[in-house]
C-alpha cells in the first residue's frame, strides 16, 4: 500500500486515500462492470456474497438502468390492463343461480341440529 498505491494516489491528487476505501472502490468497480457476485467475493476474500454486497455501490448508470427496467415493466402492465379493458368480456359460463335471502334461510331451517 505505501510503496505502490500511496505514491500513485498522491500523483492523482488523493494523498489521504485509505486501503478500505480502495476495497470499496474495487468491489464497486467490478459490480458496475457486471462482474458476477461470486467472482467479486472470491477476489476480495469475502466469506459470503452478503458481505460483498456491503462493499458494492452501484453507480448512476446502473441506477438509471434499474429505473428504466422498472419503468418499462410498468408501461407493459399498463398496456395489458388497457387491452383487457378493450376486449369484450365473455358472460360467465353456466353459473349456479344465487339464492335469495329467504331461500337461504329456508335451507338452514331444514338442517337438523344435534344436541
**Three-class HEC string of 25-62:** HHHHHHHHCCCCHHHHHHHHCCCCHHHHHHHCCCCHHH
Tell me which of 38-42, 53-57, 79-83, 90-94 is least confident. Answer: 90-94
What pTM does this model have? 0.44
- Cell readout for 87 is 376486449
Res 110: pLDDT: 59
Contacts 24+ apart (CB under 8 A), 64-70: none
Res 74: pLDDT: 85
Q: How confident is the model at residue 92 (pLDDT cuts 50, 70, 90)?
A: low
- Integer Cα distance of 57 and 52 in angstroms: 10
Res 103: pLDDT: 72
* 29-52: average pLDDT: 85
Amino acid at each position: 500500500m505505501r510503496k505502490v498505491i500511496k505514491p500513485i494516489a498522491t500523483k492523482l491528487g488523493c494523498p489521504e486515500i485509505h486501503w478500505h476505501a480502495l476495497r470499496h472502490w474495487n468491489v464497486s468497480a467490478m459490480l458496475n462492470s457486471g462482474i458476477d457476485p461470486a467472482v467479486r467475493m472470491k477476489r476480495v476474500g469475502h466469506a459470503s456474497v452478503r458481505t460483498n454486497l456491503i462493499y458494492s455501490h452501484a453507480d448512476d448508470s446502473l441506477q438509471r438502468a434499474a429505473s428504466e427496467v422498472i419503468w418499462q415493466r410498468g408501461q407493459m402492465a399498463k398496456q395489458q390492463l388497457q387491452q383487457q379493458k378493450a376486449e369484450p368480456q365473455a358472460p360467465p359460463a353456466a353459473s349456479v343461480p344465487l339464492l335469495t335471502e329467504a331461500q337461504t334461510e329456508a335451507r338452514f331451517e331444514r338442517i337438523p341440529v344435534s344436541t
